[in-house]
Amino acid sequence: MAPEITHDSSRSTRDLSRRGGPVNQALLDAPPDEPRVTPYDLAHKILYLRLLDAAAEGADWREVARIVLSLDPDRDPEQARRIHDSHLARARWMTDSGYRDLLRQGSQN
């Protein structure tokens, strides 16, 4: 299992910070690659929405990594990019397919 990276909740800057600051959940290097919504997805649904918003606005991935994911892309750019890209891909999966699981589960999530 991949090591967990915790968030520094004291970080926030510019426009993305107005959306609630960093999400205070532990991040895996990559979200689970399951064909259904997982507890990890449910715990990170707000993060997924923020990643999708940032991507739609054309935000630089480094800024998103700093503000939304509380990562330091200058310290380890490859890892920060991997974490950003894998979570953005999962967020996109949620909008393409995963939402069906949420609908089946009803309003409990």
pLDDT digits (tens, 9 = 90+) for 84-100: 999 999 999 999 998 88
Q: What is the Cα–Cα distance from 91 to 98, expressed in whole angstroms?
A: 9
Neighbours of 43 (CB within 10 A): 12
Is the model's pTM score more than 0.85?
no
pLDDT digits (tens, 9 = 90+) for 46-85: 999 999 999 999 999 999 999 999 999 999 999 999 999 9
For residues 9 and 102, the model is more confident at: 102
Query: Long-range contacts: 82-85, Cβ < 8 Å, 24+?
Result: 82/29, 82/30, 83/5, 83/27, 83/29, 83/30, 84/51, 85/61
